[in-house]
Structure 1
Amino acid sequence: MVQAWYMDESEEDPQLPHRAEPSRPVDLQQLNQLGVLYWKLDADKYENDPELEKIRKDRNYSWMDIITICKDKLPNYEEKIKMFYEEHLHLDEEIRYILEGSGYFDVRDKEDKWIRIFMEKGDMITLPAGIYHRFTLDKKDYVKAMRLFVGEPVWKAYNRPADHFEAREQYVKFLAQTA
């Protein structure tokens, strides 16, 4: 089961858990109300997993690759880690499946508070187009993840503020309907 919680306001090392005190856990239903989808899969059989294939077919995830994020595998590691942690949105869904290692996806709730989602081996997440979010590794400094897309991959991130994009406007309308 995915672990998620409201974050504290600390500016300390982003690779720390940053759990609010007192603890405020977030469940799957709350994530779903933000448009965040989650699956737990068997990462050891990702190459021939019928469950993954069904999700890909049902959601039209036609393109995929695998990225390894660690100091000795990712060119310009420090720069990329800073870029991933900048608050941003995409005009398309962001789909990530953790094959090895772990890290944190942070998403904004309806009141603009940060929710931290701990992702580890076997966790797959879809963030809707238009949601403000960011990513960082945890203290293990390593993750291997599958990136999936509908159609051709689009890597463009739009740092906040990016409220003028139609994807953001649609997302805000979606949030209003789930109130």
Structure 2
Amino acid sequence: MAMEAWYMDSSEEDQRKPHRLTPNQPLSLGHLKTLGVFHWKLNADVYETDPELEQLRRDHGYSFMDIISIHKDTLPNYEEKLKMFFEEHLHLDDEVRYILDGQAYFDIRDKEERWIRIAMTKGDLITLPAGIYHRFTLDETVQHTHMELSLI
């Protein structure tokens, strides 16, 4: 499945729901690039030896790698961590996330302060530019999500 992005509604409903506007207002990868957000689709089954991932890491100087498993059985203080991930924040460096398994959403603010939801699945690698407000949540398939790989 290809990565999807759309403008979000302002509902206070469960953060794991899609929150699409009616009618849906999808965004292209090209539009995300204008915001400094880049995407690659890789083979997550071979991430440890993937030459495409290695080339990407070399090209962009990504040297740090940390795997976090976001699952209620493996992540201590699971509910608190999910709430923390969903708090809007920014970083002084680019943020790189690679979904090794499962499905999740990254939300980013555009230049007009509108929230954009980016749906990611296994094999999606995304870079968010330094200084962009964002947040993260699992989607409604939460029982299957076991993810993510940080490259910076």
- Deviating above 4 A after TM superposition, structure 1's stretches of 4 or more consecutive aligned residues are none
The residue correspondences of 1:2-151 to structure 2 (distance < 5 A) are 2-141=3-142, 142-149=145-152
Paired with 1:14 and 1:46, the residues of 2 have a C-alpha distance of: 29
Alignment check: 8 A CA contact 1:98 1:145 kept: yes
Paired with 2:36 and 2:146, the residues of 1 have a C-alpha distance of: 24
Paired with 2:64 and 2:32, the residues of 1 have a C-alpha distance of: 25
Please give the TM-score of this superposition, normalised by the length of structure 1.
0.82
Counterpart residue identity of residue 72, structure 2:
K
The residue correspondences of 1:152-171 to structure 2 (distance < 5 A) are none
Identity percentage of aligned residues: 64
Paired with 1:61 and 1:9, the residues of 2 have a C-alpha distance of: 35
Deviates more, 1:139-148 or 1:9-18: 139-148
Q: Between the two structures, name the one with larger relative contact order (CA 8 Å, sep ≥ 6).
A: 2
Secondary structure of 2:68's match?
A: strand
State the shift of 1:15 in Å: 0.2
In structure 1, list runs of 5 or more residues that go unmatched: 150-179
* Cα RMSD, aligned residues only: 0.7
Alignment check: 8 A CA contact 1:103 1:143 kept: no
Paired with 2:146 and 2:22, the residues of 1 have a C-alpha distance of: 27
Query: Structure 1, residues 147-173: CA drift from partner, whole Å, max 9, x if none?
Result: 111xxxxxxxxxxxxxxxxxxxxxxxx
Paired with 2:105 and 2:37, the residues of 1 have a C-alpha distance of: 14
Alignment check: 8 A CA contact 1:137 1:143 kept: no
Paired with 1:115 and 1:80, the residues of 2 have a C-alpha distance of: 22
- Which structure carries more strand by proportion? 1
Residue-pair matches, total: 149
Alignment check: 8 A CA contact 1:90 1:130 kept: yes
Secondary structure of 1:30's match?
A: helix
Paired with 1:148 and 1:20, the residues of 2 have a C-alpha distance of: 32
Query: Structure 1, residues 54-88: CA drift from partner, whole Å, max 9, x if none?
Result: 00000000110211101111111111100100111
Please give the TM-score of this superposition, normalised by the length of structure 2.
0.96
Secondary structure of 1:14's match?
A: coil
State the shift of 1:143 in Å: 3.0
